[in-house]
Structure 1
């Protein structure tokens, strides 16, 4: 496994991160989820991403339980923003909601600290000074080690960094965007902004919710016990389950066969071939998937294969 610094920080993360939005769902029970994290740890993965919104917080509970015996060895990242209740202050990036959200995440994780706390979405309502001062305060209190953002456009990231630099607040060390063969808009301004400001990029959805893995057929619906059949994958299914994607799958299968690797491993290697990418978030519902994902870090893709995938 390879480890790299996250942004400008001194904290090092594995180049593969375990995504846990499936954990706590009915088709990935708690015991299996813990076995996935155990397998990932054995394979050298030290980076786990969750959120308070994943399965109403149960993903955080599962992650906390799985890392408890090696808590110091893991970099646990979580996120806050999405509504956690019916009230007007139960959502967003206000001081009130963020403090409540961080404390609730700490309780579910059964941890004294969060290694990387990310704001899940941009919030236009509170001034950025309020959000960043709140996060800075919690870093100083020891509840958070580093901060990051998710689903931010380049201008939103740059605005936040400018406020942090002006006021002496903690800076976002990373951004978590959606990125895959069909959604590559971040290769413009966001790539440039992160390179200029030394902000790490940790993308999600590189498998397009699983459609790109080669496990599904355009001619039949996904199996009932599969991720694509679950409610968690419906947005990805609505977005990516189409003729263009399955044509991509055919190309990916051929390229993977040439290299004697799996399609998921090929996609991980392609994503990591981008010098701007720090680590890639990928889910796993079985231990062997976590091990296979970790092994992809050692794949050195030929330039011809990279160019072939770039052209899709």
Structure 2
């Protein structure tokens, strides 16, 4: 297992990245510390968060995940051993209530908000710089040139090392890359999309965005690589769903006949390999040349221990082909001709 370069940046990343949406939500601070300790001990180095995590839960105004990470790094004295990625764009405040209608515009990708949000993230993280600062999603009210200019200023100040994006469509990503090239702004080195074996998620990424990443050398750090737990095998065809909001969401979005067939193939390969199904799903992603590191979440050290071995699991060409086939989709005429 070797570390992977994130796009054209100077950041080298362990093949599994740690997501922290659950910190201060479904994982308390002590558990969060234990998970991060185990992640670093296993060789992990990229920790991904966002300023809004997790303001949709009671008593969380956003910034809580960043604060937990900041206190953990300070207590461990290990800032030089980890890479910190965070994001800007979403509304801050309890349930985002201080965002969209707040007179100070506490969200978005304007120069004013980006500079304010970056300073706030640095304070919460208790660090002098952010390794990867990502725009969480598009802001249709702000020209991309203004956003990129502000992000460039952050890099030149030394507050940010590299910039990336998340949830951008292919044409939005090309627009940003073109603006950077035309005006001499810092360019995105990575994208964080939703990407996994399940459909339509796989097709949504591979139809166009993957081609942009390959052509222009962007690193891909997929979120929800296990489709909200669907690819772990915790849900089975014909079995009653757990009584939870998340399970109902999984049912409505992913539990179709093709995805059950995908899960069957993942379970079959996992059984032959003596591996956890999640490891197989992650190893498939890591077989893609443009994928740097899938982002996994864990509410316990035990959950993390099931996931980290995916970094060294090498699927055979036959196994990859089988997973590609079962998760394929009918190509349009345009797709066939590209």
Are the structure 2 counterparts of residues 234 and 58 from structure 1 closer, same or farther at C-alpha, using a change threshold of 3 Å? farther
For 2:84, which of 76, 93, 96 is the aligned residue? 76
- State the match for 1:60 in structure 2: 66
Q: Where in structure 2 are the equivalents of 1:279-290 lying within 5 Å?
A: 279-290=293-304
What is the distance in 2 between the residues matched to 1:237 and 1:77?
A: 31
Q: Where in structure 2 are the equivalents of 1:70-219 lying within 5 Å?
A: 70-84=78-92, 85-86=98-99, 87=102, 89-181=105-197, 182=199, 183-184=201-202, 185-218=204-237, 219=239
Are the structure 2 counterparts of residues 241 and 110 from structure 1 closer, same or farther at C-alpha, using a change threshold of 3 Å? farther
- State the match for 2:286 in structure 1: 272
What is the distance in 2 between the residues matched to 1:101 and 1:311?
A: 43
Query: How many pairs align?
Result: 305
1:307 aligns with 2:321: yes
- State the match for 2:28 in structure 1: 29
What's the offset of the Cα at 1:249? Answer: 2.4
1:250 aligns with 2:264: yes
What is the distance in 2 between the residues matched to 1:234 and 1:100?
A: 37
Are the structure 2 counterparts of residues 195 and 244 from structure 1 closer, same or farther at C-alpha, using a change threshold of 3 Å? closer
Highest Rg: 1 or 2? 2
What is the distance in 2 between the residues matched to 1:295 and 1:146?
A: 28
Contact kept? 1:18, 1:47, Cα under 8 Å: yes
Residue 126 of structure 1: SS of its match in structure 2? coil
What is the distance in 1 between the residues matched to 2:29 and 2:236?
A: 29
What is the distance in 1 between the residues matched to 2:27 and 2:13?
A: 25
Are the structure 2 counterparts of residues 171 and 236 from structure 1 closer, same or farther at C-alpha, using a change threshold of 3 Å? farther
What's the offset of the Cα at 1:119? Answer: 0.1
Residue 10 of structure 1: SS of its match in structure 2? coil
Are the structure 2 counterparts of residues 305 and 173 from structure 1 closer, same or farther at C-alpha, using a change threshold of 3 Å? same
What's the offset of the Cα at 1:309? Answer: 1.2
What is the distance in 2 between the residues matched to 1:302 and 1:260?
A: 14
Unmatched segments (≥5 aa) in structure 1: 224-228
Are the structure 2 counterparts of residues 244 and 222 from structure 1 closer, same or farther at C-alpha, using a change threshold of 3 Å? farther
What's the offset of the Cα at 1:63? Answer: 1.7
- State the match for 2:308 in structure 1: 294
What is the distance in 2 between the residues matched to 1:104 and 1:217?
A: 43
Contact kept? 1:211, 1:245, Cα under 8 Å: no
Unmatched segments (≥5 aa) in structure 2: 55-61, 93-97, 327-338
Residue 267 of structure 2: SS of its match in structure 1? helix
1:10 aligns with 2:10: yes
